Amino acid sequence: MNPQIFHPFVLPFVVGMAFVLTYCVVGLVRVIWQLPKADRKKFWRSLVTPKTAWANIRDLIGDCLFHVKIWKRNPLLGYMHTAIAFGWFMIIVIGHVMLFALKPLQGVELEGIQGMLPNFYYPIFYKFFATETPIFAFLMDFFLLMIISGILIAVVKKLHSKIVGVKRVTKFGFADNMIRFALWTIFPFRLLAEKTGLMAFWWIYSIDLCIFMFMLPFTRYMHIPTEALFILLRHAGIKATEPRKGYALAELYSCPSCGLCIDACPMSVNDKMSGNTSAYFMKKLRNKDSEEAKRIAETCLMCGKCVRVCPVSIESCDIKFSQRAATPYYINSDHSYLDKVEAPKPAKTLYFAGCMTQLTPKIMRAMKQIMEAAGEEYQFMDENGGVCCGRPMLLSGKTAEAQAMIAKNTELIRQSGATRLVLSCPICYKVFKEEYHLDGIEILHHTQFIDALVKQGKLKVGKSGVNYVYHDPCELGRAFGVYDEPRAVLESVGNLKKAKSEKELSICCGGSLGSFTLTQKERDEITENSVADLMFNHPDEIVTACPLCLKTFARKSPVEVKDIAEVVAAQLG
């Protein structure tokens, strides 16, 4: 064969590439095959719907190539990843452009081999075979050096992660460590090969690539091809329903184990508990370590912070839900008692305190005072006890049981003829917003309700000199973005101080019902960390809007902890 256009050193790479491509095609078919029929239909439709098609293009470029979400969280890590991934992408692109642009210039006789490999021959690593023009030489060198600069940051991150602003990094097993080493050495070898021209380096370069390709499907680097598919599925509006199938499978393989969720997780207060974070959950589930995956799924607080910081937007909480639901219960619930629950009297505004608020009667008292002061006509739906909203049942994966309670509460609310439902507990708020079908009824958390009353002038409040810090409950803040209303209310009754981590980065109080297995001691550690974060600017009082956060913080806070309703009730003019 013409030595000008073929050299056997390319073979290891070609074999590796063929393997990866085959694996990806099989995986793609498998994921799409495993999707429920309705979801598959949604998926095909989303590809041709202009709105989702545009979102696909935007995120494929923004997330896969430029890693915008990592830049937003940590610019240095953003550069690191972009340098390596985008740099590599550009080297491949320029290589191909060169092939087409320079072919006539160099006069390489491709015809010489057409008899042997008709239509299949494609000269990869063209740089080896042809001398290029200065502009291509510059571009190739530029991107190669960009990649190597990214790798240098990665090495620093491996040695001292704190330098790049990361406290805890993901602990990897043998395969992940080995492929990382392969990745890091690919590009220095390419540079050496180009600059020295030694055949040995070209061979090492190709073999290195081959090792990388063969290990890729079995390691975290599988996120490179899978993320593209995942973006398309995500925009189609599909959700995970089974822990290791279809959409969830695409999510599992899209997780790069980057570990950004580890520092974000409220459980990362010590080394042992940081093993409960989503990065490890995804890894265990992918590796079919179902015992560990089940353990982590049941330990998780379900605060949703990992989902918020995830640069790939993986809904790990949904997978944990499906993992919980996959564990069978041998006892089913008996709902015959539901008939005994009394219906509330007719009213336009209905107040549902919820189980947790029943445990913190001061919130109920404050709400009564506020409604009376505002002249609001209302009925108290569960003054003498009520049916649980159903969220705790859902959290334990018992969907059918939860639906029975949801149906009963819906019936009670409809019977009252209410047009507005006010809730004091964000746990209830989440399930009422997401699972109940209460069309025509406005569902408000009391922070929103009080804010509206103050703004409408129905509620007159005086301003005190107290410095408050506001804790965003997970199920109100991160879940529904209710950040401004409580802050507006607090600013009208006192001074608002900032916490160290606020809004979507707020740290779970540690009391979350989401976790089944955390011990009181472990929860206390989480609470202490969360309180320290709130006390950052030395407030006089901690204010929250969730009865469970209130009870949890009260155990560990050096200052008084109050619900926003209490604070407002004390300032009624």
Partner 1 sequence: MMDSLDLTTFNRLKESNPDVNTCIACGSCTATCTAGNFTEMSFRRLLLMLQRGKEDEAKKMIQRCMLCGKCTLVCPRGINIRKILLDITR
Query: Taken in order 232, 235, 238, 240, is the CA torsion positive or negative?
Result: positive
Least Cβ distance, residue 193 to partner 1 (angstroms) = 58
Residues 132-151 that bind partner 1 (CB under 8 A): none
Query: According to the binding rule CB under 8 A, does residue 300 interact with partner 1?
Result: no
Residue with tokens 């912070």: 305
Q: In 278-326, which residue ranges form alpha helices assigned H by DSSP?
A: 278-286, 290-299, 305-309, 316-325
Query: According to the binding rule CB under 8 A, does residue 51 interact with partner 1?
Result: no
Query: According to the binding rule CB under 8 A, does residue 561 interact with partner 1?
Result: no
Residue 183, CB half-sphere, CA atoms under 13 Å: how many? 24
Binding test (CB under 8 A) with partner 1, winner from 153, 405, 482, 490: 405
491 neighbors 286 (Cβ within 8 angstroms): no
Query: According to the binding rule CB under 8 A, does residue 100 interact with partner 1?
Result: no
Cα(83)–Cα(65) distance, rounded to whole angstroms?
10
99: helix, strand or coil: helix
Stretch that binds partner 1, among 73-81, 216-224, 312-320, 509-517 (CB under 8 A): 509-517
- Tell me whether residue 358 or residue 506 sits nearer to partner 1 (CB atom): 358
Query: According to the binding rule CB under 8 A, does residue 388 interact with partner 1?
Result: yes
Query: According to the binding rule CB under 8 A, does residue 400 interact with partner 1?
Result: no
Least Cβ distance, residue 443 to partner 1 (angstroms) = 20
Least Cβ distance, residue 444 to partner 1 (angstroms) = 22
Least Cβ distance, residue 390 to partner 1 (angstroms) = 8
Strands 467-470 and 378-380: unpaired
In the 8-state DSSP scheme, what is residue 65? I
Beta strands in 369-501 (DSSP E): 378-380, 420-423, 442-445, 467-470, 495-497
Query: According to the binding rule CB under 8 A, does residue 396 interact with partner 1?
Result: yes
Q: Which residues are bridge partners to 352 per DSSP?
A: 423
Q: At what angle do helices 446-455 and 484-493 cross, to 10 degrees?
A: 50
Least Cβ distance, residue 386 to partner 1 (angstroms) = 8
514: helix, strand or coil: coil
Residues 339-378 that bind partner 1 (CB under 8 A): 340-341, 355-356, 358-359
- Tell me whether residue 477 or residue 511 sits nearer to partner 1 (CB atom): 511
Query: According to the binding rule CB under 8 A, does residue 551 interact with partner 1?
Result: yes
Query: According to the binding rule CB under 8 A, does residue 398 interact with partner 1?
Result: yes
Residues 301-340 that bind partner 1 (CB under 8 A): 327-334, 337-338, 340
- Tell me whether residue 385 or residue 462 sits nearer to partner 1 (CB atom): 385
Binding test (CB under 8 A) with partner 1, winner from 395, 422, 496, 499: 395
Q: List CB contacts of 295: < 8 A, sequence separation 6 or more.
A: 517
Q: List CB contacts of 75: < 8 A, sequence separation 6 or more.
A: none
Which amino acid, one-letter code, is at 245? K
Q: Contact positions toward partner 1, by CB under 8 A?
A: 327-334, 337-338, 340-341, 355-356, 358-359, 384-388, 392-393, 395-396, 398, 405, 511, 513, 516-521, 548, 551
